[in-house]
Amino acid sequence: NISIMEYSEKKTEYNLNYAKTKLKRIPLDIQNEKYEEIKNAADQAGESVNGYIKKAIDQRIERDNK
């Protein structure tokens, strides 16, 4: 039986390994005003900024592929 601390350490290690092998970071520089516009839109949609941007990308790809 593992302790909560051991579980937490194993979970953190798993998450870091997953991120290294399965995710690609995309740096995105935008002006502060544009960020606020995106943040407000995401908040109104009940989404995170990250989720809102990902959804916008998916919608653009879908639209462009029609």
2 pLDDT band (50/70/90 cuts)?
confident
Q: Which residues 6+ apart lie within 8 Å of 34 measured at CB?
A: none
Residue recorded with tokens 């916008």: 56
Taking only the tens place, the pLDDT of each residue in 11-53 is 999 999 999 999 999 999 999 999 999 999 999 999 999 999 9
Rounded to two decimals, the pTM is: 0.74
1 pLDDT band (50/70/90 cuts)?
confident
pLDDT at 35: 98
pLDDT at 31: 98
